[in-house]
Homo-oligomer: A and B are copies of this chain.
Amino acid sequence: MTHPDDDRAARTGVSRRGLFGAGLAAAGAGAGAAAGIGGATAATGVNPFTAAANGDESIDLSQSHPFYATAARQPQGGVQTAPQRYCVFMTFDLSTSVTTELQVLLARWSAAIAQLQAGKTVGSVEPAHGDGVGADTGEALDLGPASLTVTVGLGPGVFDERFGLADKRPAALADVPRLPSDNLQAGLTGGDLSLQACADDPQVAYHAVRDLARMARGTATVRWTVLGFGRASAGPHQSTPRNLMGFKDGTRNITTDEDHDRFVWVDEPGDGAAWMTGGTYQVVRKIRMNIEIWDADVVSDQQRVFGRTKIEGAPLSGGTEHTTPDFAATGTDGDTKIDATSHIALAAHEANGGVKILRRPYNYTDGLNEYGQLDAGLLFLAYMNDPEHFTQLQRKLGASDRLNEYISHIGSAVFAIPPAPRKGSYIGEQLFR
């Protein structure tokens, strides 16, 4: 089996295994030297998704990602960054209508995230003689940076009448409309702000969100949160992680810098939205999986639902995991080998006017549901330069996808992700000029 990365590794003269470690180190040391938006990964040309997935069977918790931009149009971490193994996602409602209080919060968050991504505390854990409340809650002391990235998002509410920012609202930033097969819960939708903390240690990710939420007290209140796990990709034979249905997830994800430039990063938006240049949009969905029903299904049907084999992840039209699916190929019965309503057929960019979105999914579990069955699913995080791309895709999937029998979209929100700030500035600062 050949793999797209093998070529790339061969061209740069480094092994894939070596790139996993070296790539991250290079990201820390030389991101500023990389030209353009691609940032960290442009330096090595390695695909961060498959590099992480195919990497060593050990996890290095001493890695850190820089927070501040050193070049124009540099994105925040946590988008193109090689997906870490854990994610804590949280949204907030702003309880203030004072614009400077929003600015102060974004500035305090920015300074704190820079500390956290360097593996430091956000302030004193143990004030002198203990006479005072700790600025940092302390549970991540000495744990190392663990590749933490915290990505800050601004929801549609930031641009309502409260803050005088209505004319800065990007036309693209709108709530995801009601979609077929939505089963949204009010407590799992929306938010004025979002934090996505990804790390290779869940205690590091949880600590980051907890201490940032503490800073927001008086300015914003927590709305909903999901704890994701399961970028659980460790084996040398596994090229793509698996979701809790046991299938590989993300085989045809965006990987190249060209596709990031074309589909992920915002390029010179019109109107008052110039502050979003080099940014992106985050669409998040909490997708419950009826895994106990799924587990009772015969594997041939599961494979028909996805359009891929379970173990290898190869398209049912043949080949291996990374073989391009042939949606026209027919079997001896005259039917297409890949069902037209399978997940990969409906989601394919070939069937969606060439549109691609960058997916960054994590598995989650909420224990048991009200029927005593396993309550689990997918924290679907996706990035794109126009949220309408998600809407188009999900409108089609929600109407026809064979997977709908087994899943339910219960949470939803959309956020603008400004580019990373330069040192001395803060996330979204350009918005307030």
Contacts and interface: CB of A to CB of B under 8 A. Distances in A.
Interface string A227-269: 1011011111110001111110000000000000000000000
Contact of A139 (B61, B131, B244): B244
Contact of A61 (B59, B129, B206): B59
Interface string A308-352: 011100000000000000000000000000000000000000000
Contacts of A245: 137, 139
A186 to B, nearest CB: 13
A141 B242 contact: yes
Interface string A371-405: 01110100000000000000000000000000000
A367 interface: yes
A139 B58 contact: no
A204 B222 contact: no
A140 B137 CA distance: 34
Q: Which 7 A-B pairs have the closest CB atoms?
A: A138-B246, A130-B300, A142-B235, A203-B232, A142-B238, A130-B299, A58-B58
Interface residues of A, number: 76
A1 interface: no
Interface stretch (A42-50, A65-73, A290-298, A422-430): A290-298
A133 interface: yes
A368 B225 contact: yes
B235 A134 contact: no
30 contacts: A58-B60, A58-B61, A59-B61, A125-B246, A126-B311, A134-B246, A134-B295, A134-B302, A137-B295, A138-B242, A138-B247, A139-B242, A139-B244, A139-B245, A140-B232, A141-B235, A141-B246, A143-B233, A143-B235, A146-B234, A203-B232, A204-B232, A210-B374, A214-B295, A222-B368, A223-B372, A224-B367, A225-B367, A226-B367, A366-B367
Contacts of A367: 224-227, 366
Contacts of A190: none
When all copies of this chain in the complex are counted, the total is: 2
A87 to B, nearest CB: 12
A310 B124 CA distance: 11
Contacts of A297: 133
B311 A232 contact: no
A196 interface: no
Interface in A33-92: 57-62
A132 interface: yes
Given A57-B62, A229-B203, A298 B372 contact: no
Contact of A202 (B127, B130, B232, B373): B232
B202 A229 contact: yes
A110 interface: no
Contacts of A247: 138
Given A57-B144, A130-B302, 15 more contacts: A59-B59, A126-B303, A126-B310, A130-B301, A134-B310, A138-B311, A139-B243, A139-B246, A141-B235, A201-B232, A202-B202, A202-B230, A210-B291, A221-B372, A366-B366
A176 interface: no
A237 B299 CA distance: 48
A75 to B, nearest CB: 27
A234 B203 CA distance: 11
A357 to B, nearest CB: 23
Contact of A133 (B58, B223, B298): B298
A113 B78 CA distance: 36
Nearest to A88: B365
A133 B302 CA distance: 9
B142 A237 contact: yes
A192 to B, nearest CB: 15
Interface string A267-300: 0000000000000000000000001000111111
Given A126-B311, A138-B310, A141-B242, A298 B58 contact: no
Contacts of A296: 133
Contacts of A58: 58-61
